[in-house]
Each structure stands twice: as C-alpha cells, then as structure tokens.
Structure 1
Amino acid sequence: MFERFRDNFLNLINSRLIVLTLVVILMGGVLIHRVFVLQIVEGENYLNEFSLKIKKERSISSSRGKIFDRNGKLLAYNDLAYSVTIEDVYESDKNKNKNLNATLLETIHIIEKNGDSVISDFNIYLDKNGEYAFNVTDTKLLRFLADIYGHASIDNLKEKEKNATPQDVINYMAETYGIGERTDPDDKSTFVPGQGYTKAEVLKLITIRYAMKANSYQKYIPTTIATDVSEKTVAAVKENNDALLGIDIAEDTIRRYINGTYFSHIIGYTGKISSDELKSLNEETSRGEDEPDRYEMNDTVGKSGIEKVMETYLQGEKGSETIYVDNLGKEIDSEGRVDPVAGNDVYLTLDADLQEAVYNILEQSIAGLLLDKIENIKEFKLGANQKASTIKIPIDDVYFALFNNNVISLEHMASAGAGDNEQAVRTAFLQKKEQVWSWLTEELYNRRTPYNQLAEEYQSYESYIVTNLLINDTKVLSVDSKDETYKAWSEEETISLSDFLEYAISRNWVDVSRLDMDTQYADSSEVFDRLVDYIRLELDKTAFHKKLYKYMIRDNSINGKQICMVLLEQELVSVSEEEKAALENGSISSYTFMRNLIKNLQITPAQLALDPFSASCVIVDPNTGEVLALVSYPSYDNNKLANGIDADYYASLQNDLSLPLWDYATQMRSAPGSTYKMVVASAALMDGIIDTRSTVDCVGSFTRYSDIVMRCWNTYGHGNLNVSQAITHSCNYFFYEMGYRFGLSGDPESGTNFELANTRMREYADAYGLTDKSGVEIEESMPQFSMANPSASAIGQGEHNYTTVGLARYVATVANSGTCYNLSLLDKVTDRSGNLLEDFTPEVRNTIEMPTAYWDAIHTGMKGVVEGKKYFVDAGISAAGKTGTADENKLRPAHALFLGYAPYENPEIAIATRIGNGYASDYAAQISCKVLQYYFNPDKEEDILNGTASQLEAVVNTED
C-alpha cells in the first residue's frame, strides 16, 4: 500500500498539471501582494500623484500695434495691468452653478470693495429707473439675441425670442446659470430667476458667466472678471486665493489712448470680438484650409475708427504653445512655446497738437456764443414774424438743461448722502409729483377736460402719456392714425384724455397682455382702471420726472440758487469759498453764478445741449489731400469703451442729448448754404452762361417763377455784380439767375427745366467731389445732391446735404485750383523696428481743367469775403473764404458754415467749419479765424487757448 501511495504521489508531482497549478498560485500570490501594496500600503500617495494628461494647443496673444500722429506723437498704446481671472475648474455636477456663482459673487464683492469694477460689456444695463435695458438696437440687437438663444443666424430667431425684453433675456440667462433660488428645494419648477440676489448682482454674474461660455471649449484659458485693477485688489484676491477656486491674478495688457477725447471719433476703440466679426475677419485673413484661423472668440479687435479700419495691421501674429491639462481642464505642464509677433504701428496724417487746439477753440467759442444768447428771463417764445436768428436762451432753460441732460443726478438727490439743497429740491419734487398725479386722477375719472382747454403744462403731461408712454415706448396702444376719434385727440384736440382712452379700449387698441391683467376678457372699466394703474407705475420714472422739474423751475417751486447749490453739493463744479459764500448770501445772483460756470467751462455747451452745442472743423493740406485735423465737438472718452465696454458709461453716452457718439465732422449732413456758390460760379463760367465781365442786376426780389417770389438776403438789392462780386457779397439774386439759366433750352416761352438745370450743376458738384464720400477711412455719410428748384439749389439750399469733411475736400480743390483728392487720414505703417511696410499717399480723384482767369475770378471773390471782415484783417491773416447758413428748422437757429484757405497767395491749409444751429455764418468765420491764427502764429497760443469762453463779435447780418 505504501508503494502504491508513493507511486501516486510521484506521478502527481511529475504531472504537468501540478506544475501549472503551483505556477498559477505563485503568480496569484505575487499579484495579490502587489495589489495590496498599491491599494493599501501606498494607495493614498498614488491617488494624490495621479493626473490625467490631455494635450492641447494654446495660442498666445500678440501685442497690438501703436498709433501715432504725423510727427510721431503717441496716441494709442498698450499698457501692462493686472486682471482678475477665473478658470472653469468646477466639476460638472448638480452643485456646479451654485458653487461657481458663490465664488464669483464673493470675488465681485472683493473687487468692488477695493474701488475697482468688474467687466460690464454685456448688451444689457441697469437704467436710471433700476430696470434692465438694451444698449443696442436694430440689427445689433437681433445679433445679440441670436447669440443668447444659441442661433447661428438672426433668421433662426423665433418670434418670441426676437421680441424678448431685457427682463426676458435676464430671466433666461439666470435660469441657465442657476442664478436664483427655488421656493421648494425639491422642485425644479419652482426656481425663481434672480431671487436672493440684487438686480445689479444678477447682471454682473450673467455678464461673467456669458464671457466664460465663450471659453467653454477651452477651460484652460481663463476668463477676465476685471481689468486694470489696483494693487489693493490684487492683494485682497491673493489673500483669499485658497477660498476662491479658479480665481487668479494675471498680468495683462490694456489699450490706452492719450488725450482720447480729442481723437475718439477718429481712432475709435477696441473690444471683444463678436461672432460676426470673427467670421468676417477670419475670411479676410484666411491662410488656407490647413492653417489655423487668425482670430479666436476670445480676441480683442478694433470696434470703430482707425482701430477697426487698420485691424489686420495692428493685431499682430499670435504665438502658440503645447500645454497639458488634467481631467478638470487645469493646466499642469507646457512645452514648445512660439512667441507672438507684435502688431505693426500706424501713423496718421493728423497733427495732434492742431487737433487738440481746434477742439478747444470750438468749445471755447460755442460757450461764448451761448453766453451771448442767454438772458435773465424765464421764457422765450418766437413770434410769428420773428426769425430764428432772434432766439434767446432763458436762464430757466439753462437750469432745466442740467436735469434734462442728466448733469444733475436725480439718484444722488434721493440717496442718504444728499446735501441740504438736494433734499430740499427732492422734497419739492415729491410734492409736485403727488400734486400732478392727484390732478391727473381727477382729470381721468371726473373732469374730462378737452385737451385744447388745458394749460400748457398739463397738455405736456397728457401728450407725453399718450405719445411717449403708451404708443412709442411701450406699445401698449396701437392706434389707427386715420380714425376720426384719434384725429380729434391728436390734431383737433377737442376731446379729453379719458374720452380717448375709453375709445381706444372699445376699439381693442390696448394690448391688455402688457397690463399684467388676470384675464383678457375683463370689461372696459376694469381695463381702464388697470391702464390708469399702469400709467402711474410708468410715470414714476426718470423721463417723466424731468418734465416735472421743467415746470417746477418755471413756477419757482425750486429756484436757480438751489440748483447752483446742488451742483456744488454733488461736486459737479468747483468754486472758491468766497464765490460759494457770495451765492449763499445773495451778493451774487444765481444767473451770474451760472454764467461764470459756463464762462470757465465748468459747465460746457455739450452738457447743456442747448443750441448751439455742436460743431465740427476739418483742416486739409490742399497740396496733398492729407487731413491735418478732423474735429467733432462734443466727443467722448474712448478709454472707457476700450478693453470691454463700460455699459453704464456707454448708456450715458446714448442718453446724452448732445449725441457725443455722433461724428459731426463725417456723419452730420446739412445744406452748404452760400458756400456752394463757387460750384455754381464754375458751372456758369465753364458752360458759357456768363464770363468774368458779365453782370446781373440784383433788385432784391427774384420773380422769374410764376408761382414763387425768391428774395436776396439784401432786400434792397445789390445792383449790378459780376461773378467775383457776387461771391464776395454772397448775392442770392445773382445765383438764383444762374440756376434759372441752366435750365433754359432755347425756347423763351418754356421757362426753365428743373432736371436740365440740376443735371448741369451736378456735373460740377461732382468735379468738386460733392457727389460721393470724401475718401477718409472712417465712417462717413453719403452726400445728397439737390434736384429741387434749381434757383434754390444754386444758393446751396434745396435738398443739398453734405458733411463737413466733404466740404473740406471741396474747398481744398478750390484752393489748389482744380486738383480733387480722395482725402486720407493714414500716413504709413511700419513694423516695430520702424521699417516702412506701407505708405498711404492720397489719390487724385480728378482734376478740373478751367482757365486761369476763371479761377482768379473765384479766388478774388472769396478774398473779398475775408477782406470785409475786420477780425481777419486785425489778425493779419492773408486768406480767402466763403460763409454760408443752412436753414433746417424754422424754430431753431440755422447752421453756420465757413470754408476757406490760407495763405491766399500760396495755400498751405484749407478749412471747413460748421456750428450746428450756430445762428449766423459769421460766427463760423470767426472761429475759423482763430484756428488760422493758432496755425500761423504759435506765439498767440496762450491768448487763443485760455481755457475760458471766447467772446465772439456780434453779427448783424445773419442771412448769408
């Protein structure tokens, strides 16, 4: 038995199976031991060291090129600054929004506590009534809404999305980003957007989250929360770094503009690229299918002006590097860095010193003109037979302008920090508001006074309610303009507001869905009551409040002294203690005090926005077509729009009645008035209508047309004048006759042919460049040639509309006797080492071949204009020019224009100046004289640019 057991055992040992089994057991033991070591003994260490590496390519932004003037004076550059950023390192779970929003809100509070601001370049802002509002309109608004709702094209917007209100967008975004609270923690449907946050906090969080969304496909690229922050903010963020997940401080570059206000319309500003810009710029700079796009969604690009025009030159070339990110998207390593190439530098044709001087001359001169028109009266009403040139500005209108154009802050008057006079004015306002509402309630329910029987003040309130509040602003009312009852309200003014509203309800003109009614089937009395409630809520807003202040000033509920003291309490102006005491004790009147503020430019024409408040001046080298100065007054600070638009500042610009965003030099158009007469003179001479010796007898009244009598500004007539004298004396009669003769076809009985006459004049307008844009590279309005009555057209009226820069090209062509250039603001482009890359020389558009005798006749006539003005003679300037006025509205002063060049013998510069609603052309000539004095007599700079209002000489003849 033992032997059998031994044999079996030996067979078992020698068996392949047992060997295999032992090997398996041994390997299993080793594996179990290794797993034990990895998971139990060293598991925690390995877990801490583990990270998933994902390879990514990251672009590195280049430094934007600089912008210089013609003399190498720096106008725009990049500056190093600190930014607060966030990386999306949050896990995508149900608590992500909550945790991310909490971190952002805490960061926002830290930034603001230290005096800095978070980004606000979102197309919604909080208006003065604390309501959300869009700061874009039309196509830009639709593009914004398409981006919000995730559509590639605005054509894909649904009707509800297309008509979304600012509040609708905020609610949608807040719900998307979890900015709000649930009334029932377990029920998602009870989520209330914005609950638990202030409106301002909601907007700031949405702005940042929306910016982060643009980077959602590249979490490793941080999103900027605030730019150009102080060292205090930097320190505070770093102190709280452990608690603020994903928040960091980054070195950044921001765009700076030196004396930006003087150049903002020309240089423009930069901002974050839009989806449309991304597409168009990448198409423009495409380098082939295998090459990466030059632009990305996080880039900063030129948004307007030269920054936009020269974008591809200024942008530079991005660098790149390979980075490795972990499974959360956080960068852990990098390699293969390729440095970016800085953008190229752009040089402009502008003379920066001249540009700044002209801007200051315009402001000082308009302030002087305003002071000449302001009188210590409460009202001025233009009489039936009075001309607009006689308009005076009551001091009460000046006081009201401070409220109407948002100079005085109504919000500050209602705040805890309001001064004594602010509180007194605020109390008077609240009493007035209650009084007006009591009157309106009584009027709506009981009195029912026909509109034409109301006092002017109450007519103003009712007109505002219907036209502005119910129809234009909110669309609560959709009226039928042909309806007889509507005409009885709007034209005949024979029914009451109550009668009109009740009729509107009966006709279903009222959109009850906008009244938040429980049911749209309510009876008419319920709709009327709800409409009254709606009116009260809407009237409790800033726009209507301003109307109340107008009549409070008029009825002396508040006075000029109080208003001046409010300016001091809000620190909007600064005066000596002696001046303040004099105002308080009455030794100086509020009228004199306010005039002194305007004289010292502490209150500017732009702030008041009372005619005149705007002007433009363009100076051209007539020998090259280069623009030396292109000035638009008023202007804005483009530093506040660069590096991400300051939404509040942008909104304030949009609400500014002086329209500072509007370029008055390139976008405002008006009739050229008598400055157009050189065009007609050229046409008449070249077409053989007259020669240099021909005369026309001006008798004052032009009676060639059977249905109209046209009068010369000199109603007694100028007598016999040749073409040079007609230009010098700006004889309308002479040029009426030229316009008439252009349309004669040989048959004396047929009269003049309007189309023929205007077609012949248009040929010469075109030769002077007045039928298309001037050539400057920034945005410019198209000119409009008049096809109206040829005699009216011949004196620069009719339908003519030209920009100041277009008129500058015209007079430059006159100055050089026939070479019409396409004007340019661009001089050259160089690389960072100063090597010339591109030279921009203005092109000759066309030349006017005209006999020297004809040119001499025109130049002589223009010289006569200047020689007849004492201030030009006293200044010792040899110049030639032409004045002109442009009537646009019989209830407002005419626009004032002057075109000229100097020196007369050998022109170096050509100038075009326009004062919007500037009363008389001679004022524009006086301003131009000051500009020429500055240009040719630098030693007079201190006298010309003294920082105070410039007194202009009184003008007798305002018709030229």
Structure 2
Amino acid sequence: MLEDIKESILNFITSRIFVLVVIFLAFFGIMMSRIFYLQIINGQNYADSFTMRIKREVSLPGTRGRIYDRNGQVLADNVLSYSVTMEDNGTYKSAREKQSTLNRTVLKVIDIVESHGDNVIGDFGIVYQNGSYTYTQEGRALLRFKADIYGYSSIDDLKPEEYVATADEMIEYLCGKKKFWISPDLYTEEQIKEYKVPTDLTPEQILKLVTIRYAISSNSFKRYVTTTVASDVSDATVAEILENQSNLQGVDIEQSSLRTYADSKYFANIIGYIGKPDQDELDTLKEQNEDYDANDLVGKAGLEQYMETDLQGKKGQRTIYVDSVGNVLEVESETQPESGHDLYLTIDKDLQIAVYNILEQRLAGILVSKIQNIKQYVPGAHSSATSIVIPIYDVYYALIQNHIIDTSHFTADDATDLEKSVQQRFDTQLEDAISRIMAQLQSDSPTAYCDLPSDMKNYMSYIVSDILMGEDQVLMKSAVNTEDATYIAWAKDETISLKEYLEYAISMNWVDVSGLDVKNSYMNSEEIYQVVVDYISSKLTTDSKFHTMLYKYVILNDVVTGREVCLLLYDQGILEYDEETVGKLRSGAYSAYSFMLDRIKNLEITPGQLALEPCSAGCVITDPNTGDVLANVSYPGYDNNRLTNTMDSAYYAELNRDLAGPLYSRSTQERTAPGSTFKPISAVAGLEEGVIRSTDIIHATGVFTEAYGSPTCWIYNQYHGSHGNINMVDAIRVSCNYYFYEVGFRLGGGRSTGYSSDRALAALSKYAAMFGFDHTSGMELPESDPKISDSDGIRSAIGQGTHLYTVSQIARYVSTIANRGTVYDLTLLDKLTDSEGKTIDDYSASVYNNIDIADNSWNTIQEGMHQVAENTAAFKDLNLTIAGKTGTAQQSKSHPNHALFMGYAPYESPQIAIAIRIANGYTSANAASMAADIFSYYFDLTDKDELLNGSATTATSAVIND
C-alpha cells in the first residue's frame, strides 16, 4: 500500500502536470505578494491618487487697459473686488439628483448674497415686468440670444417654433427636463421631499435661478472654469459664503477685476461697456485673435468695442491636471497675463461734463417756459409749431408713461395706502374701458371710428396695431390688402367701425386664429369673430402698454389727481422725502402745477425723465485746426456701470423702453434736415459755379414764383413781408429763403437754359460732398450715414428737400468753414500707451478732403456767419467774436421744430467749432443760447459756478426765423 502511494507520488512529481502546478503556484504567489503590496502596504497612497489625470490649459485674463481724457483724467478704470463663483464639480448618482442639488445650492447662494444687500448676476436676455417675462432685446440680437439658448451656432438653425418662442415659453423650456429641472412637475412627491425641491418659487426667483444656471451651463464643457454668480460683494457676503462653504458644493470667493466708469452718464455714449460676447461677436473676435473664448469680457459698445483688441491685453496661461469630473489635481505651470494698453482720448472731461449740464439746464428752461396749467393743448386755425404748449396734465402722465412712477408696485405687498387706492381706481377704469370696447365690438350698430370719443379712437387703433397685428399676428400684416376699399374706409377715411373692419378681414382670410387656444378647428365666420373678440378682451386685461395708455385718461379725467401723482414721487422714493413740502401738497397749500414746475426748475425731475418735447440734444465740439473732438455729448445719458462686467438686464430693459432714448446717440446717430445751416454750402455752390456773385443784388419779394408751389420766405410767413434788395452776406445774416431759392433755381439752369431740378441737385450734391456730407464724420463710433438731398433742387438749397445729417457731420462741416477748407475725418483718439506710459501709437485726424475754392467764397460765407452771430441776442453780451449759423428743421405742425446752431470762435483765429441740435427745440434761438453758454464756459467769460448752477436756465424769448 505504502509502495503504491510512493509510486503515485513519484509519477505525479515526474509528470507534466506537476510542472504546470508548480509554475501556477509560483505565479500565484507572486501575484498575491503584489496584491498585498498594492492594497495593504501602499493601498491608501494609490487610492488617493487613483483618478484619471487630464491635462488642461486655463487662460488667465489680463487687466484691461484704462481710458483717459486728453489731460490724463481717468474715464475707465479697473478695481479689485470680491466675487462669488461656482463650479459644477460635484458627483451625482443621477441627472435628477445633480440638477436638484445645483438648483438648491444656487438658491442658497442667492439668499446669502441678497440678505446682505448685494445682487446676483442679471446678465440675461429676459426680465420679469408687469406680470410676465419679456425679452430685453429685439431684431437680430434677440434671434442670436434664442440661438444661444437652444444651443445653435447659427441663427439659421433655429426651428420655426423656436424662432417665434415667447419669453414665457423660453423660461418654461429652461425650467424643463431638457435643461435645468426647475419645475416641480418633473419630480414625484417622494423625490420633492428627498431632493428638497422648492415648489413655491416666485417668477422673479425662477428668473434669477435660470440666469445663474445658464451661466454655469455655458462652462459645462470646462468644469474646472468658475462662473461668477455675484460680483463686487460686501465683506458680510464673503464671510457668510466662506462659513457655509462646506455645504455649498463648488461655491467659492475669488478676487477679480471690475471695469468701472467715472461720471458714467456723461461719457456712456462714447466709451460704451464690456460684457460676455454672443456667438456672432465671438466669431468676429476669433478672426483677429484665436485666444478669445466665451468667458472673456469684451467691448460691447462705444470705444470699448472699437479698441477691443488693444484694451484687452494678453492672456496668461496656467497648465493644470484635472480628474474625470473636473477637479483640479495639480498646477504644472503658470504664465502671468499682461495688461492691456491704455487709451488717451481727445475728449476734455471737464468740458464734456459742462456741456452735458448746459444742455440739461437749457432743456429744462424750455420745458418750464412751455408748460401751462391746462388739461389739453388744442391748436387754433393759425397755430404753428412755435405756438405749441405743454399741458401740465401731459407732465403728470409723462411720469407714468415713461415709467418714472412704477405702477407695478401699486400691487406689491409693501405698497402704500395711496398706491393701493390708485390701483383700485385704475382697476375700475380698466373694467369700464374694456366693457365699452366690448360693447362696440358686439353691438348690432357699432359707431364709426371717426365718431368715437378720442380715448376710444386710441383704444381701437391700439387693438389693431399692437394686439391683433402684434406677436400672435391674428390680423396678418402680410395678408392685408392696403388698397382694398374696406381697408381704406377703416384706416384712412375712418368711416367704418372696428367690428365692420374685422368681420370683413375674416371674410377675406386676413385673420388667422390657428395659433390661439381654440377647441374647434372648423369654425364659421361668426365663431372666428367671437374668438377674436375674446382674444382682445383677454389681452387688454393684462397688456401693460394698454394699461399705460389708460392712465392718460385716468389722469385727464381726474380719477387720479395731479396732486396724487406728485405725492407718488415721494411714496416711491423718486424724490427725497420732505415733510414740509409733502404737508403743503396734501393740504393744497402747494398746487401740483407749481410743485412740478419747481421740481423741473431744480432738476429734481429732469427733461430726460419726462421724455416730453424737447427732452434730448446733441452737441459736438472740435478743434477745427486738428480734427480732434473735444466734446461729444448726447443727452440724456445712462449709467454704463450697470451694463458692464455682468449686465443688469432689468436696467437694460428700462433703457430700451425709455421714451427719451438714452441708448441712442443724439450726436452721431440721430439725423434731421440741417435747415438753414446748409445755406453756406448753397452760397459756395452758387459762387463757384458762377451763377451768382457775392455783390449781386437779388430783389427778394417773399414768394418765389419760379418754383412749383411758390415756396415762401419765413418773413412772408410771419409778417407778410419781404427782404427786398439783398446781397449774399446779408442773405446769410437774415437767412433769406427767397435769396437761396434763387441760387438753387440758377444752379438748375434758371432763366438762361431752363430750370432742371436734377441739375440743381447735382450741383448742391457736388459741394455738399466737398464738405464731407457724402460720408460719416470719421469718429470711431457707430454713426448714421448722411443723406444729401435728391429731391427738389430749389427747396434743397435752404436745407430742406431730403437732406439728413447728424450733429457730428455738421460739426465736421463747420470745422471746415472755420479752417477754410481742410475736411478732417474727426477723431476721438489721442494716443495709446503701455502700462508704463510709453507711447505705442500716436493718433491724429486724417484729412478727408481739401477744398480748393476762391478766397472770396470763403470770405463771403465767413463774413455772413460772423454777422449772424453779431445779430443774435444770445451772443450780444459775450466779449468774444463769433461766427455762426442757425437753423430750424420742421418735423410737422403737431411737433415743435428742431433747433440747430453751428459756429466757431474766435472769428479771427478759430480755436473751437460747435454744432448743436435740440430735437423739437422750438426755435434755433434756444440752440444759440446753448452755444453761448458753451463759449462762455470754454473761454472763461463768466463765473462757472453761476453758469453751472444745477437748475433750469431761463429760456430765451427771442425767435430766430430761419
């Protein structure tokens, strides 16, 4: 037995199987020892470092270059501040857990930030106003925003339903399953409890949450890049964030550089602001520099945009290793960024501020002189644009129409008793107005439009233009036949009712209700009409524009009194509370009319806020010897600090709906006819073409019978008079229309070869182009293209026809007259330096054209302009020789005329040239008065504190007829 066992063992040992077993055991032992080494001896070390390492390059932004005025005063700077940032760097078991956790964290951060009086970012294209979400942009900018939200690189990729998506639909999409899981409907009751999903968020809270979530999602492909949630926060916010950091996944405090603007409202239209680029902007910037990315802050407007690549600086680079979820494991290397270049402008800061204040004071003075204690202005049979007055009731309504008084606050929890009372009365009036409208729409014998009272006419017009032809296009603009007899009866003749018009529109298939919430797809005409009526009723109930319109009649009918409107200014903190003044208002000892006049006189309520006519002005001042722009003022301005870094979208929306148009440059974008300021060009054209000599005498009768319509001179219109025998210098001095009609007539062939309007226009165009009116002024800002008149050669000679120019273009023109022929491309740029002050680029205005005309031509127009100034009341008391030309451009008989002045001083050796336009400024005497104040300031001819006293300057009673 034992022998058998030994033999078996021996056979096994000598077999191939034994060898394999030994080899297997050896490998097993090695493997076990290795596992022991890895897991027991060095297990913790390997566990700590067992994560995927991915190499990444992170850009470090450089400090943006400063912007200075010509004297080295800072206009744009950078300040260090603390920002609350957030990274999406957590790990989650499911998408639902991730989204709910991020939402909960963001809401907690919002609570902390706002509890200390700070604000989270509001840089989003949607705001919540008057009970609904609204886009802050329109046109292509809105489509670009939609494309970004839906994740498209091109606007053309938008689907039809996305193209027309409303702001409410956009918010619903962002709150849904495809984006941020904010809607509680996406969770079960158990999940709501488990993930602590908020179910009672207000629309405002939802918007803030969406705004931050969208900003974070923009960095989702770079989870190691932080997103700014709140900037420039207080020490209290910093402390609380850091204290709670362990419970706020990915939230941190970072030191950052913020762009700030000194005296922002004066320079906003020049400097602009910075912000994150949209895809179109980013694509354009990448063509210049591949280093740009979506998280950069870039110039969005003004010189910040024009000089972007110089101001931006050079980025640094940090090489890091991140794990598979974006956590930073190691910083391998770092290259420091370089500061951007500093930009010096030709602008004189003190002059710019002074001119802005002069414009505001003078505008306030015009308003005060025109406001009367009446309800409505009713023009008489012989009324003109200069006789228009402003009823005080228009002033009361303006405070609501231009949203100075916030009517949405009337329903707030903290609304005052007066606010609540006004809201109650308004609700009653709204119900009554809608009832009256519905009665007309459902009447068997509705009233023709022409026979309706004025308020109902406005309501009916609004229903068609804004409700039915608005966003939903129930009445399809493209389908309406404007040559149809029934359309003409409604729109032009006004002889039918809205009901009759809509019934006809339905029969002609101009109405489309398919986009409305209707149950039956197949309806007859009566059923469609009822759907339209119900739609109108529903819309009017909630439409904020209609509500604003209704307030006009609420005030006009004294349902809400002027005194109550004045008191609302204190209730809403628009005016600083003054117990004595409020007491007098309440008791009636201080009338609402006197109160409002005093507030306007003291500039506590500004022309820009009221947005009445006039409420705006533009002024450009140049050095005519160099082409440098010393001041470029657009009134009213705005606070570009609230648009820069991260945009305050609610403020941007306010600016867009502001009727005074603060985002619209009155100096470089607003175009009007030049009026009589164009006459010197006509004079040069006549002299140089040889159709008239400066010494020739024209017998100006007041009515020019050689032209179609027999145009008249201002002196004939005013006094049935004429200028009689007159030469060119005197014609410029008195701005004789008849004389320049004759010049235009002769340029067109006149009595010698037969008049041709085209020939006259060609001659005027030739000389207008010589003076630069065929191109923008050269300023490094967005500028509207000029338009040289192409209609009616005779009237074009006095600055009418179809001439359209900006103040900046007129400024170049008058600078050319001052320097006798050098047409500069105006510039705002002086020099570019590095951070140590070394000049990199030295800018100067380029020459656009040199005008070669006879000395006699220059002498004639300059002497004529000198005599204009000598005979203008505004300049009488100035110890300064001035040359200038006034101009009046008529818009319509229902609006005050535009007022213009251009001039230069000193006459003998010009140092500055000025161009001013007051939109709807009544008379050019008002523009001349502004110029007189500017000359006084610049040449130090009066006490500057007295000149800039912060109150309305009494408007001139003089009227310059031109």
Please tell me whether residue 719 in structure 1 is matched to residue 719 in structure 2. Answer: no
Of 228, 244, 248, the match for 1:244: 248
Match of 2:85 in 1: 85
SS in structure 2 at match of 1:336: strand
For residue 263 of structure 1, what is the amino acid of its counterpart?
Answer: F
Separation of aligned partners in 2, 1:886 and 1:218: 57
Match of 2:453 in 1: 455
Shift of 1:676: 0.8
User: Is residue 899–residue 911 contact of structure 1 (8 Å, CA) maintained in 2?
Assistant: yes
Query: Residues 572-591 of structure 1 correspond to what in structure 2 (within 5 A)?
Result: 572-574=574-576, 576-591=578-593
Match of 1:853 in 2: 856
Match of 1:760 in 2: 763
User: For each residue in 1:307-342, what CA deviation from the matched residue of structure 2 results, as whole angstroms up to 9, or x when unmatched?
Assistant: 011001001110002101122111121021111111
User: For each residue in 1:929-951, what CA deviation from the matched residue of structure 2 results, as whole angstroms up to 9, or x when unmatched?
Assistant: 00110000176210110000011
Match of 1:57 in 2: 57
Separation of aligned partners in 1, 2:209 and 2:320: 29
Match of 2:409 in 1: 412
Please tell me whether residue 742 in structure 1 is matched to residue 747 in structure 2. Answer: yes
Shift of 1:448: 2.4
SS in structure 2 at match of 1:875: coil
Separation of aligned partners in 2, 1:248 and 1:656: 38
Match of 2:229 in 1: 225
When structure 1 is superposed on structure 2, of 628-637 and 699-708 the one drifting more is 699-708
Please tell me whether residue 199 in structure 1 is matched to residue 199 in structure 2. Answer: no
Match of 2:847 in 1: 844
The 1:23/1:416 distance shift into structure 2, 3 A limit, reads same
SS in structure 1 at match of 2:80: strand
Shift of 1:864: 0.9
The 1:921/1:5 distance shift into structure 2, 3 A limit, reads closer
Aligned residues between the structures: 945
Please tell me whether residue 371 in structure 1 is matched to residue 368 in structure 2. Answer: yes
Match of 1:932 in 2: 935
Please tell me whether residue 396 in structure 1 is matched to residue 401 in structure 2. Answer: no
Match of 1:356 in 2: 353
Separation of aligned partners in 2, 1:473 and 1:917: 32
Please tell me whether residue 151 in structure 1 is matched to residue 140 in structure 2. Answer: no
SS in structure 2 at match of 1:463: helix
User: For each residue in 1:507-552, what CA deviation from the matched residue of structure 2 results, as whole angstroms up to 9, or x when unmatched?
Assistant: 4333223331112223444433333332222112221112221112
Shift of 1:505: 3.4
For residue 207 of structure 2, what is the amino acid of its counterpart?
Answer: L
Please tell me whether residue 820 in structure 1 is matched to residue 823 in structure 2. Answer: yes
The 1:956/1:707 distance shift into structure 2, 3 A limit, reads closer
Please tell me whether residue 302 in structure 1 is matched to residue 304 in structure 2. Answer: no
Please tell me whether residue 71 in structure 1 is matched to residue 71 in structure 2. Answer: yes
The 1:944/1:707 distance shift into structure 2, 3 A limit, reads closer
Please tell me whether residue 513 in structure 1 is matched to residue 514 in structure 2. Answer: yes
Separation of aligned partners in 2, 1:923 and 1:825: 27
Runs (5+) with no aligned partner, structure 1: 286-292
Of 772, 784, 789, the match for 1:769: 772
For residue 389 of structure 1, what is the amino acid of its counterpart?
Answer: T
When structure 1 is superposed on structure 2, of 815-824 and 230-239 the one drifting more is 230-239
SS in structure 2 at match of 1:472: coil
Shift of 1:926: 0.6
The 1:706/1:27 distance shift into structure 2, 3 A limit, reads closer
For residue 878 of structure 1, what is the amino acid of its counterpart?
Answer: T
Match of 1:608 in 2: 610
User: Is residue 707–residue 794 contact of structure 2 (8 Å, CA) maintained in 1?
Assistant: no
User: Is residue 898–residue 923 contact of structure 2 (8 Å, CA) maintained in 1?
Assistant: yes
The 1:2/1:134 distance shift into structure 2, 3 A limit, reads closer
For residue 452 of structure 1, what is the amino acid of its counterpart?
Answer: C
SS in structure 2 at match of 1:581: helix
Separation of aligned partners in 2, 1:20 and 1:898: 109
Separation of aligned partners in 1, 2:763 and 2:466: 46
Match of 2:505 in 1: 504
Shift of 1:791: 1.6
Query: Residues 537-556 of structure 1 correspond to what in structure 2 (within 5 A)?
Result: 537-540=538-541, 541-556=543-558
For residue 265 of structure 1, what is the amino acid of its counterpart?
Answer: N
Separation of aligned partners in 1, 2:494 and 2:689: 55
User: Is residue 789–residue 802 contact of structure 2 (8 Å, CA) maintained in 1?
Assistant: yes
Separation of aligned partners in 1, 2:506 and 2:54: 66
Shift of 1:902: 0.5
Separation of aligned partners in 1, 2:10 and 2:182: 80
Query: Residues 514-913 of structure 1 correspond to what in structure 2 (within 5 A)?
Result: 514-540=515-541, 541-574=543-576, 576-705=578-707, 707-714=709-716, 715-744=720-749, 748=752, 751-913=754-916
Separation of aligned partners in 2, 1:779 and 1:453: 46
TM-score (norm. length: structure 1): 0.94
Separation of aligned partners in 2, 1:612 and 1:919: 8
User: For each residue in 1:370-389, what CA deviation from the matched residue of structure 2 results, as whole angstroms up to 9, or x when unmatched?
Assistant: 00000001110222321111
For residue 136 of structure 2, what is the amino acid of its counterpart?
Answer: N
For residue 653 of structure 1, what is the amino acid of its counterpart?
Answer: L
TM-score (norm. length: structure 2): 0.94
User: For each residue in 1:124-178, what CA deviation from the matched residue of structure 2 results, as whole angstroms up to 9, or x when unmatched?
Assistant: 222x222222222222222222333333322333323222222333233322222
Runs (5+) with no aligned partner, structure 2: 192-196
Match of 1:289 in 2: none
User: Is residue 377–residue 395 contact of structure 1 (8 Å, CA) maintained in 2?
Assistant: yes
The 1:450/1:939 distance shift into structure 2, 3 A limit, reads closer
User: For each residue in 1:531-589, what CA deviation from the matched residue of structure 2 results, as whole angstroms up to 9, or x when unmatched?
Assistant: 33322221122211122211121111111111111111111112633222222222221
Separation of aligned partners in 2, 1:5 and 1:583: 124
Separation of aligned partners in 2, 1:361 and 1:260: 17
Separation of aligned partners in 2, 1:533 and 1:736: 58
User: For each residue in 1:24-43, what CA deviation from the matched residue of structure 2 results, as whole angstroms up to 9, or x when unmatched?
Assistant: 43552454365367557986
For residue 543 of structure 1, what is the amino acid of its counterpart?
Answer: K
Separation of aligned partners in 2, 1:164 and 1:549: 30
SS in structure 2 at match of 1:512: coil
Separation of aligned partners in 1, 2:210 and 2:745: 64
User: Is residue 362–residue 953 contact of structure 2 (8 Å, CA) maintained in 1?
Assistant: yes
Shift of 1:50: 3.4
User: For each residue in 1:30-74, what CA deviation from the matched residue of structure 2 results, as whole angstroms up to 9, or x when unmatched?
Assistant: 543653675579867753553332211111111110000000000
When structure 1 is superposed on structure 2, of 330-339 and 848-857 the one drifting more is 848-857
For residue 149 of structure 2, what is the amino acid of its counterpart?
Answer: I
User: Is residue 180–residue 197 contact of structure 1 (8 Å, CA) maintained in 2?
Assistant: no
Match of 2:481 in 1: 480
For residue 481 of structure 1, what is the amino acid of its counterpart?
Answer: T
When structure 1 is superposed on structure 2, of 855-864 and 915-924 the one drifting more is 855-864
Separation of aligned partners in 1, 2:12 and 2:492: 120
Match of 1:288 in 2: none
User: For each residue in 1:788-844, what CA deviation from the matched residue of structure 2 results, as whole angstroms up to 9, or x when unmatched?
Assistant: 222211111111111001000000010111111110000010000111100111111
Match of 2:220 in 1: 216
Separation of aligned partners in 1, 2:266 and 2:54: 50
SS in structure 2 at match of 1:469: helix
User: For each residue in 1:668-693, what CA deviation from the matched residue of structure 2 results, as whole angstroms up to 9, or x when unmatched?
Assistant: 01111111111111111222222232
